[in-house]
Structure 1
Amino acid sequence: MARGDGRGATAFYTRAVQLARQMGQVSPDLVEPLQRAVSVIHTQTAAYEAHLQSRLNAAGFNPDQSSARFSLSLDLMAGRKRLFFQEPRFYLFPGLPQIEYADRESLPWLDAVERDASLIRAELQALLAEPELFRPYVESREDRPNGDQAGMLDNPDWSAIFLWKDGVEQSGIAARCPATLKALAAVPLCRIPGRTPSILFSKLSAGARIPPHNGVINTRLICHLPLITPPGCRLRVGNTVREWRDGVAWAFDDTIEHEARNDSDHDRIILIFDVWKDEITPEERGLITAMFGAIDAYAPSQAWGV
């Protein structure tokens, strides 16, 4: 290695630190050299990133305005962020783009849903007079093993009132929310009998958090229409964090690791529904629906249960 080869030194030091971590415990005489190696790694890494940033700035790169994908590639290369993929817990359809939040342009019907936010909120407000209508979003079953579900099993901190649940209309609630269902009439809801759609008012209690988790199938998007959203309520999908704001909807891939938190002193309530991904053709939608029908005919289960 040539004198002054900072990148070469960093490579050797990095390998030494990796080996030390694999060993778990190192002899006392190696502690100080390893600390010095870590310090050199940090110094050289900072110098390298500053050099790269300076050259890119001279080439016209602006982190706030340039390609978001290129910015992410820099963060991944520098180790500032990790790469997230679709990891559905039940069914993976191959060849779909790995996108955290869907582009607004691919959701032309979302504007109309937002325009009806006040009508939907009014129907929600009427239901709030009966707080017992909210049930834990994840409820235990007697006929199947119950996993931890990221600590959300039977947890009232994350609760819901369903208009549709697992592809079945909840007639008592649905009848009280005609404006909500009318607002979704032109939406490409993901319809798989006995499984989807689910349409619900989702409540995250004040101070509560939904730990990182992944959804069940990657052929759909989960849509959120915020209705009662105090400041400090956020959703992270992969590397991207967004704050809910009343009436501003979005759609995301829930098979990419995501988590939610309510850092306010008030409950957060949003409307949730699921839609087919545009990339899934009509033929594929039919085949996917038929496949799940065959699964249920073999051994009926509860939606995504085993």
Structure 2
Amino acid sequence: MNLTNQDAERLANGGVQALQAGRAGEARRSFEAITQSGRANAQIWLLLAVACRQDADAAAEEAALDRLIALEPRAVRGLIMKGDCRAQAGDDRAALLHYEIALRIATDQDLPEDLRSEMRRAEAWIAAQKERIVARREAALVDRGWPAEKRSARFQQSIDILAGRKRIFVQEPTGYYFPELPQIQFYDPAQFDWVPAVEAAAERIKGELTALLADGLEGFRPYIQSATNQPRAGDSELVDNRDWSALFLCENGKRSDDIIARCPVAWDAVQAAPLPHIVNSPTVMFSLLRPGARITPHTGTHNARLTCHLPLIVPPGCRFRVGNDVREWQEGKMMIFDDTIEHEAWNDSREDRFVMIFDIWRPELSAQEREEVAAVFLGPAAD
């Protein structure tokens, strides 16, 4: 069919008016005349799809949508309608794909209210569909002999990630990255032969700390400090804030002999651990978190080490998260974790929380690798 521009415009306007009046068949004939002439653009194919939907012709609607999406792959309304077609046909996987693509594209667009309503409908469908998928997967696992109580912790974490209940967290050091190390949030303290000796000393270390605290918090200083000749460390509310404070037995490799003299048990206990004696290490400190304070999510500087917490004074309501795993400190029970995985802490109690913190070499590093890393942290050789 040969149409002039004026003919095509007249048919398009008439089709829109017919749609608005509820005359789907008439509208469809107008738009089909344009498509048969070869003059149809993406908008005409969309209008034809809408008319076919009103005319209850699902096959024709989907065919028109396929032509639309071929011309305009980022057509949000067309992708949602295509998802509707697939959902109606029972093809939930394809429906989910089209809805999710539409949602991703829509984040960059200023949508009219009616299309935002369609987006909310698609979001609700996606949420319900994912719940159905999770339920079917859980039922299948139970049927195959793997109820939740029998699953390994790592397998259950994979299922939680698959279901969207947990995220994938990886090492994100702010400085140095050593490759091919396992992505473990919390290590099992039982894997370290020096841990029992440190835990056995916990009550005496707590006694040393209590004696220090009898003189108040003198010596404790904000853990995050700004420098006059450097920019402030982001916008953290804890910069120069004593709500998160530290008293150092050893800071970045520099001993505080006066504190060590008052805490000999603490200092002797950590010597059993593989402390990284390199430039700027080790660090051994008492960490104070005041009531109501929160340490916001952050990551450490390098992944050649692990961080150890020996909880000493911990009121109820103090929590610590590494990656997906949220735990409460238990007095005298060691926590060992990878601080290059995002972590944060809260003190939701009305009392101060005190933990002894120190770093150790990662157990996966060989003796040679430890020497190599130490050489890196020495910096460039002098001329």
- TM-score past 0.5 threshold: yes
Tell me, what secondary structure is at the counterpart of 1:132? coil
Q: Which residue of 2 aligns with 1:171?
A: 257
Q: Which residue of 2 aligns with 1:210?
A: 295
Aligned AA (1:20): A
Q: Which residue of 1 aligns with 2:312?
A: 227
Conservation of the 8 A alpha-carbon contact between 1:7 and 1:44: no
Q: Which residue of 2 aligns with 1:85?
A: 170
Q: Which residue of 2 aligns with 1:302?
A: none
Q: Which residue of 2 aligns with 1:244?
A: 329
Residues 7-51 of structure 1 deviation map (CA, whole Å, 9 limit, x = unaligned): 32222222222222221x211221332222122112211111111
Q: Which residue of 1 aligns with 2:213?
A: 128
Deviates more, 1:81-90 or 1:102-111: 102-111
Q: Does 1:40 align with 2:125?
A: yes
Tell me, what secondary structure is at the counterpart of 1:291? helix
Deviates more, 1:127-136 or 1:248-257: 127-136
Deviates more, 1:221-230 or 1:1-10: 1-10
Residues 117-167 of structure 1 deviation map (CA, whole Å, 9 limit, x = unaligned): 110000000110221221111222234333227432211110011101101
Tell me, what secondary structure is at the counterpart of 2:281? coil
Tell me, what secondary structure is at the counterpart of 1:118? helix
Q: Which residue of 2 aligns with 1:304?
A: none
CA distance in 1, matches of 2:214, 2:147: 50
Give the helix-richer structure, 1 or 2. 2
Aligned AA (1:239): N
CA distance in 2, matches of 1:287, 1:192: 11
Deviates more, 1:39-48 or 1:227-236: 39-48
Q: Does 1:119 align with 2:197?
A: no
Describe the shift of the 1:105–1:247 C-alpha distance in structure 2 as closer, same or farther (beyond 3 A).
closer
Residues 223-276 of structure 1 deviation map (CA, whole Å, 9 limit, x = unaligned): 000000001111100111110011111110001110000010111001101100
Q: Does 1:267 align with 2:361?
A: no
Q: Which has the larger radius of gyration?
A: 2
Aligned AA (2:239): L
Conservation of the 8 A alpha-carbon contact between 1:150 and 1:212: no
Q: Aligned residues: percent identity?
A: 46
Q: Does 1:71 align with 2:147?
A: no
Tell me, what secondary structure is at the counterpart of 1:133? coil
CA distance in 2, matches of 1:14, 1:180: 55
Tell me, what secondary structure is at the counterpart of 2:198? helix
Let me know the Cα RMSD of the aligned residues.
1.7
**TM-score, normalised relative to structure 2:** 0.74
Q: Does 1:29 align with 2:29?
A: no
Q: Which residue of 1 aligns with 2:278?
A: 192
**TM-score, normalised relative to structure 1:** 0.92
Q: Which residue of 2 aligns with 1:96?
A: 181
Q: Which blocks of at least 5 consecutive residues in structure 2 are unaligned?
A: 1-85
Q: Which residue of 1 aligns with 2:244?
A: 158
Aligned AA (1:165): E
Aligned AA (1:173): I
Aligned AA (2:123): V
Conservation of the 8 A alpha-carbon contact between 2:189 and 2:334: no
Conservation of the 8 A alpha-carbon contact between 1:235 and 1:261: yes
CA distance in 1, matches of 2:113, 2:218: 61
Aligned AA (2:209): L
Tell me, what secondary structure is at the counterpart of 2:287? strand
Q: Does 1:8 align with 2:94?
A: yes
Conservation of the 8 A alpha-carbon contact between 1:127 and 1:133: no
Q: Which residue of 1 aligns with 2:225?
A: 139
CA distance in 1, matches of 2:140, 2:113: 42
CA distance in 1, matches of 2:185, 2:286: 22
CA distance in 1, matches of 2:106, 2:235: 35
Deviates more, 1:37-46 or 1:138-147: 138-147
Q: Which residue of 1 aligns with 2:340?
A: 255
Deviates more, 1:93-102 or 1:62-71: 62-71
Tell me, what secondary structure is at the counterpart of 2:148? coil
CA distance in 2, matches of 1:36, 1:148: 39
CA distance in 2, matches of 1:112, 1:87: 31
1:198 deviates by 0.7
CA distance in 1, matches of 2:281, 2:320: 22
1:104 deviates by 2.5
Tell me, what secondary structure is at the counterpart of 1:53? helix
Name the structure, 1 or 2, with higher relative contact order (CA <8 Å, separation 6+): 1
Tell me, what secondary structure is at the counterpart of 1:217? coil
Tell me, what secondary structure is at the counterpart of 1:175? helix
Tell me, what secondary structure is at the counterpart of 2:310? strand
Counterpart of 2:146 (choices 51, 57, 61) is: 61
1:58 deviates by 1.3
